[in-house]
A and B are shown apart, each in its own frame.
Chain A
Amino acid sequence: MGKNHEAGSGKEEDAMQLAVAKQQYGEHMDSLRAEGLLDDQFLELQQLQDESSPDFVEEVVLLFIQDSGRIIKNLADSLEQKPVNFKKVDAHVHQFKGSSSSIGAKRVKAVCIMLHMCCDRQDQQGCLLALEHVKREFDLIKGKLQTMLELEKQIVALGGTPPFMDR
């Protein structure tokens, strides 16, 4: 009984923890959306995750983070060159904008557009400033996405499924 009770209480605890985790996850996602960090596009991604590709979101997010890190580095490098090859910079920006928009990282995308416009103007200072914004936004979303992934893992570890898959 006692064992059962213990097990039961453990289960309850797990359930509690899962509920908490889910709540946290939900709150986290809500805040992400509320802060405009993510948009509906991210929901699209989440919807694409199913049994056949259970880690799709994680994969995409990780790919995004990895790819974006590379692009930002390229961007910074390109902007340090003299003279700045704005075409090249713009190509990077375009890449970044594409991927951030695909993942639904709205604010990153917005600052990417800013950066793109600076490129159009061939405004190096503006580009650098915009790049700072891009970095900051990216770091922000990166942290949030990682938190999200951790929460997801936590949920999964607790035997649950990510809320977006509760259908």
Chain B
Amino acid sequence: MMEDAGADFFNQIEEEEEEEEEFCCNRVRKCHPLLSSSGILQPTPLAPPLSSSSSSSSTNLSNPPAAPGNPVQPCPLPPSPSSSSSSLSSSSSSKSNPPAAVPRNPTVSNPNFFNLNVSESFSTKSLGLRPTIIPSLSKDAEETGVMFLLPSSPQATITTALSDHSGPDNVAISTMTVSPSSSNDVIIPPLKCASEIVASVESWQKTMVELVVENEQLRKQVQHLRKVLDEKETACQSAGKTRELCLDEEANNNFGLKTHVSRDDDDEVHICSLKRDFTKDLHTQQQEVFSGREHLKPSSASSEQGEQHGNNNSYEDVKLVLERMCGIESLLSMISNDVPIIIISHCDANLRYTYIKFVHKPLEHVCSQDILGLKDVDLVGVIPGALEMMEMKKEVLCTGIANRRELNVEVEANDGVGARLLVIACEPLFGNEGGVLGVTTVLIDVTEQAMLRERLAQMKDEVAKREVTEKKLRHAIAAADEAMEAKNSFLAVMSHEIRTPLNGVLGMAQILATTPLNSEQKELVDAMVFSGDVLLAIISDILDLSKVEAGTMELEEQGLNPRDIVKHVVRTAIAATRERNISIQAIVADDVPTLVIGDPLRIKQVITNLVFNAVKFTKRGYVKVRLRVVNHPKTSAPTQCLGNLSSFSEGYDSDHILENSVKPAAAASSSTHLELGKVDRKEKSPEVRFSEQMNTVEWNPLLEGGRRDIPEDILSTVEEDKAEEQQQLLSDPNSTTSNAQGSPDIWLQYEIEDTGIGIPKGAFPLLFEKFTQVHSSTTRKYGGTGLGLAICKQLVQLMGGQILAQSEEGKGSTFTFTVRCKRPTQAIAAGPIKTVSETKLKKNLCHSTAQLHKLQAGMLNPLCSRNSAMNLQLLPRMIKSEQQETRSADSSLKLHNGNNNNNNNNSLAFSSLGSHEKSKVLTCAAGARGGQGAFKENEGGVQRSGRWDTASNGLRRTSSGPPRIECLFMPQFEESKSLGIIESAAAPKAEKNAPLLLLAEDNKVNVMVAMSMLKRLGLAADVAYNGLEAIKALQTKCYDLVLMDICMPLMDGLEVTKHIREFERCGYWDKKIIQATSESGGASWCQPAYRQLSSTAMVASQENFPIGGGRRHLPIVAMTANALSNCEDQCSKTGMDSFMTKPVTFKKLKDVLDHFLS
């Protein structure tokens, strides 16, 4: 009973569905141009094995859009199967089929996207993988459309645009939905064997056509029979039955067999009424169907049979089957021409095919006739797909519930079928009487779709992955940028922070070095100081580099003597390589001016780096530094050096070539042989050498590797320019000398040539990169951080120039760089720029020192430890000996300077020499100029004087230990200062006219000591115990010199100096100063004698004394104990003339006074 009831229920549902489907088919037929006239599908030319699952569960026609392919209005529809249930029929089969029952093919990664290759517009717009569209179709379909729920998802909808033959206005969108509820059988591609298939192709096609014709005939017969039946039934049946038949008739009419019912805008209304009718009559119908069901035999009911029998039941059955089939077929054909293979089939209750039709691209070798009466397994053999399909059909038959599934069918055949993914929709077909007629199966080949889906999914995955990657990359870039910034600021900050305490450590180490130590301790301390110096130099390098990279490096613009820079560096290098067999020469061209505007510190840094690099890698031979003026930076290309050089060398008078060939120290005494005035005969002429170098490797870091940020086109223009320049040069070899004087810029070209180990070709690309060296073994052997050239490159670029390297491995390297400087304006040229430049030069010396120590530190590695130990020991001695030996030279040079003074030449001693003997090859010997200052009286004073110098020098870059190379230069510095001052400070030395000195010092002990020293020198001084007192004293008296302590209460020495300079410039004291000095009242600043001066006398004195009226430059000598700070810079900036570190020694004092008062 229960079973019956269940069956009833199902029957009822199926009935409904059928009705519904019928209606839909009618609709479709009506609308479809192909169907409307004949009501029969056009025979489709090809139809590969197909499955057709058409479910009729809800086949709705959507509202007719304006044109085929019109986009369907998106409307949300819940994606549950129940949505389809809300379609035309009031009850839906889908209701009875929970979505959970929907099988999913595991190979389909995203079943929600069902890419059915229907017509172009269709596939893109409705199927289009866009889920939003699909529901909208369902919604539309709910109203009028045909809806197929394709099985890829709980519900998928296919919509196709149909155009009514009546006109474009009647175009309808048909939506096909294959719902889970629709159960269909699967037809395995009926391929038994290849030969059979091939053979049957043609016949099969024929059969298709025949079948269509038969169908047509059958339909007509059916119609006819039906009419008869209807008449009978009308006569006999009850009112309810009549109603049903009416419906039937109407459905038939709608089916489009004979008429075309005008479907206007009232379609919907009509449909709604139909719906209602169906609902109302449901019960009645049910009963009817039930009663007739027993008679229904589900056994083989082929169309032919049905036709032949004419039996009511079988006739009905056949009619049903055929109608069903045609409906499905027409719908499918409407969907698209592109649906690969669709097989519509019907099986009887024994699962034998009673009807099979291939829609689209039928398998050419399969004849549908052959299939009829066979089972799936008969067709394709016992393979999993076939069995599954059979099972499914059985299940559908048994349960009466439509079902659908995706199946993987693998057909072993050489017809190219292979493994296919088929969507199978099965539904039971019930006869009018409710008996099960069989199983209707729609089989759709979705292999392509599945593959496409998979590919799509893969692509989506890939896209997602790429997006993630991109995101990550962006993050990484941002992070890298941040890190870069952080690194730079970190480096800048840390370098500073490290330097400060390191200076402290070094200072302490220096102090330690001055204490009595045994030899071992001494060595350790020296090593400590050296290491500290190296560390400091490296930190400075890093700081510089990070500054340049961060763009915070600012170049100074001040007067500098490019000649001097070369000389200084060369001298330092000579001093450093004393015991090695290297000759170091400076060759300065005639036309190099003594004063240009630029950043002396940076230029010097670059030269120093390059020279020390050259020295480092040169074991024997020479290092030459050339300086010349070039027309344009681009002429600095190595190839043009040839042209330049020949004219360059012409400028030198060979008679004046000085050479210093430093022979290796024969003994520990490191005696030095200075061969002044001797022509270097070993040296080849520049022409010869350069012609040799033609074959060497050239490298322009700016054009390759080094500057990758320069676009190619710019590079090429650069090359072109160079070519032009070269041509110009060839035509006019002297062009370099005829500099464009009008141009505000002047290009200096420095060239550092060595005969060292050279650079292998492969190392060029990395030559100017940070932290790289030619080879890791280089680091082991020679030491170094690999920062030097990177800094050089950055600095040169910063200065608007470029740096080039050419080298031949084993023979040597030449580095050439150009820097852009400005020609001095008249004002600057005449102004006190010298002083500044001198101080800067002095400051620059520190860099050399750092370099020197780096160099020496490089030798401190195991390979050359002996060497370095020697260095350590030799250095102080070297300085001493050198100085002793160069006494004579010193005196002669002094004489020279004296001459120059008459020329009002403020330049440095060497530059003045250079200006007199222009274009001489100046070979600078370290210590050739023994110091007038510290070194002159060197009995035990060398160390201290060294300290004196380095303390002042080392402020910026390094606080050097006592025995320092740059000590050698200090005398010159002192001298140079004196040069500028001597004229003005030509005070008579006689006791009567003893120069008036002011000692501004707050420390009583210091005052006492200093006064005592002055006394010993036959001098006396006024003492001011603070800054204000000093100014007061200056207001009252005309002093010849001020010894100024920097650190003083009330007003420090720097400020006092500022005011003094201001006064000298303007001629009056700052109001605040006058106020302050008058307020402070008491004359504690004076020695008793000065206390007698009245305020009136002070005013008078201001007018009379040169310092007021004449605005004479008052020499101010700074005294400070603050050796650890950046004091010296400040002093020179403020306008102090000299700088003395405390403790003030007799010698220092005497020297300073000698300089300024002589």
Tell me if B511 and A99 are in contact (CB < 8 A): no
Q: For A53, what are the chain B residues with a Cβ–Cβ distance below 8 Å?
A: 1012, 1015
Tell me if B511 and A109 are in contact (CB < 8 A): yes
- Known contacts A95-B1003, A106-B514: A59-B1008 contact under CB 8 Å: yes
Q: For A98, what are the chain B residues with a Cβ–Cβ distance below 8 Å?
A: 1003, 1005-1006, 1045, 1047, 1121, 1142
CB of A86, distance to nearest CB on chain B (Å): 15
Q: For B516, what are the chain A residues with a Cβ–Cβ distance below 8 Å?
A: 33-36
Tell me if B1146 and A60 are in contact (CB < 8 A): no
CB of A61, distance to nearest CB on chain B (Å): 9
Interchain CA distance A104-B999 in the complex, whole Å: 20
- 0 or 1 for each of A96-117: is its CB under 8 Å from B? (1 = yes): 0111011110110110011011
Residue B940 is within 8 A (CB to CB) of chain A in the complex: yes
Interchain CA distance A58-B74 in the complex, whole Å: 110
Q: For B1015, what are the chain A residues with a Cβ–Cβ distance below 8 Å?
A: 48, 52-53
Interchain CA distance A64-B1143 in the complex, whole Å: 14
- Within the complex, which residue of B514, B1006, B1013, B1143 is in contact with A48, where a contact is CB–CB below 8 Å? B1013
Residue of A nearest to B507 (CB): A113
Residue B504 is within 8 A (CB to CB) of chain A in the complex: yes
Residue A94 is within 8 A (CB to CB) of chain B in the complex: yes
Tell me if B1145 and A94 are in contact (CB < 8 A): no
CB under 8 Å from chain A, chain B span 285-304: none
Tell me if A36 and B1121 are in contact (CB < 8 A): no
Residue of A nearest to B1146 (CB): A44
Interchain CA distance A53-B1008 in the complex, whole Å: 12
Interchain CA distance A39-B1145 in the complex, whole Å: 12
Q: For B500, what are the chain A residues with a Cβ–Cβ distance below 8 Å?
A: 120
Tell me if A36 and B1143 are in contact (CB < 8 A): no
Q: For B916, what are the chain A residues with a Cβ–Cβ distance below 8 Å?
A: none
Interchain CA distance A107-B1045 in the complex, whole Å: 22
- 0 or 1 for each of B1090-1134: is its CB under 8 Å from A? (1 = yes): 000000000000000000000000000000011010000000000
Interchain CA distance A40-B941 in the complex, whole Å: 9
Residue B769 is within 8 A (CB to CB) of chain A in the complex: no
Q: For A39, what are the chain B residues with a Cβ–Cβ distance below 8 Å?
A: 514-515
CB of A44, distance to nearest CB on chain B (Å): 5
Residue B417 is within 8 A (CB to CB) of chain A in the complex: no
| Size of B's binding interface in residues, CB under 8 A | 35
Interchain CA distance A95-B504 in the complex, whole Å: 19
Among A36, A64, A98, A106, the most chain B Cβ lie within 10 Å of the Cβ of A98
Tell me if B514 and A67 are in contact (CB < 8 A): no
Tell me if A64 and B1012 are in contact (CB < 8 A): no
Q: For B1008, what are the chain A residues with a Cβ–Cβ distance below 8 Å?
A: 59-60, 63
Tell me if B1005 and A99 are in contact (CB < 8 A): yes
Residue B1016 is within 8 A (CB to CB) of chain A in the complex: yes
- 0 or 1 for each of B476-514: is its CB under 8 Å from A? (1 = yes): 000000000000000000000000110010011001101
Among B500, B512, B1003, B1006, the most chain A Cβ lie within 10 Å of the Cβ of B1003
| Size of A's binding interface in residues, CB under 8 A | 39
Q: For B1146, what are the chain A residues with a Cβ–Cβ distance below 8 Å?
A: 44, 47-48
- Known contacts A39-B514, A97-B1121: A103-B508 contact under CB 8 Å: no
Interchain CA distance A64-B515 in the complex, whole Å: 21
Residue B241 is within 8 A (CB to CB) of chain A in the complex: no
CB of B1009, distance to nearest CB on chain A (Å): 5
- A-B contacts counted at CB < 8 A amount to 95
Interchain CA distance A98-B1012 in the complex, whole Å: 16
CB under 8 Å from chain A, chain B span 988-1008: 1002-1006, 1008
Tell me if A45 and B1124 are in contact (CB < 8 A): no
Residue B6 is within 8 A (CB to CB) of chain A in the complex: no
Residue B76 is within 8 A (CB to CB) of chain A in the complex: no
Tell me if A103 and B1009 are in contact (CB < 8 A): yes
Q: For A110, what are the chain B residues with a Cβ–Cβ distance below 8 Å?
A: 508, 511-512
Interchain CA distance A9-B1143 in the complex, whole Å: 46
Tell me if B1012 and A99 are in contact (CB < 8 A): no
Residue of A nearest to B943 (CB): A40
CB of A104, distance to nearest CB on chain B (Å): 7
Interchain CA distance A117-B1124 in the complex, whole Å: 10
CB of B705, distance to nearest CB on chain A (Å): 44
Q: For B1143, what are the chain A residues with a Cβ–Cβ distance below 8 Å?
A: 41, 44, 101-104
Tell me if A99 and B1145 are in contact (CB < 8 A): no
- Known contacts A36-B515, A53-B1015, A101-B1143: A63-B1047 contact under CB 8 Å: no
Interchain CA distance A104-B1121 in the complex, whole Å: 13
Residue B78 is within 8 A (CB to CB) of chain A in the complex: no
Residue of B nearest to A39 (CB): B514
Tell me if B1002 and A95 are in contact (CB < 8 A): yes
- Known contacts A33-B516, A34-B516, A44-B1146: A102-B1012 contact under CB 8 Å: no
Interchain CA distance A117-B1123 in the complex, whole Å: 13
Interchain CA distance A52-B1012 in the complex, whole Å: 10
Interchain CA distance A110-B515 in the complex, whole Å: 11
Residue A129 is within 8 A (CB to CB) of chain B in the complex: no
- Known contacts A99-B1004, A106-B514: A113-B1047 contact under CB 8 Å: no
- Known contacts A53-B1012, A60-B1009, A94-B1047: A101-B511 contact under CB 8 Å: no
- Known contacts A102-B1144, A106-B511, A110-B511: A45-B1009 contact under CB 8 Å: yes
CB of B1121, distance to nearest CB on chain A (Å): 5
Residue of B nearest to A109 (CB): B511
- Known contacts A40-B944, A117-B504: A99-B1006 contact under CB 8 Å: yes
Q: For A34, what are the chain B residues with a Cβ–Cβ distance below 8 Å?
A: 516
Q: For A56, what are the chain B residues with a Cβ–Cβ distance below 8 Å?
A: 1012
Interchain CA distance A113-B1125 in the complex, whole Å: 12
Residue A91 is within 8 A (CB to CB) of chain B in the complex: yes
Residue B1049 is within 8 A (CB to CB) of chain A in the complex: yes
Tell me if B1121 and A101 are in contact (CB < 8 A): yes
Tell me if A103 and B1005 are in contact (CB < 8 A): yes
Interchain CA distance A41-B947 in the complex, whole Å: 13
Interchain CA distance A64-B1121 in the complex, whole Å: 16
Interchain CA distance A119-B7 in the complex, whole Å: 102
Q: For B1049, what are the chain A residues with a Cβ–Cβ distance below 8 Å?
A: 91
Q: Closest 10 interchain pairs by CB?
A: A36-B515, A99-B1005, A101-B1143, A98-B1003, A48-B1012, A41-B1143, A102-B1006, A102-B1143, A102-B1009, A98-B1121
27 pairs across A/B with beta carbons < 8 Å? Answer: A34-B516, A40-B944, A44-B1143, A48-B1009, A48-B1012, A48-B1015, A48-B1146, A53-B1015, A59-B1008, A60-B1012, A63-B1005, A67-B1003, A67-B1005, A91-B1049, A95-B1002, A97-B1121, A98-B1003, A98-B1047, A102-B1003, A102-B1005, A102-B1009, A106-B514, A107-B515, A110-B511, A113-B508, A114-B508, A120-B500
Q: A45-B1009, A98-B1047 are in contact. List 18 more A-B contacts (CB 8 A).
A: A47-B1146, A48-B1146, A50-B1016, A53-B1015, A60-B1005, A60-B1012, A67-B1005, A95-B1002, A101-B1121, A101-B1143, A102-B1144, A103-B1009, A104-B1143, A110-B511, A113-B504, A114-B508, A116-B1124, A117-B501
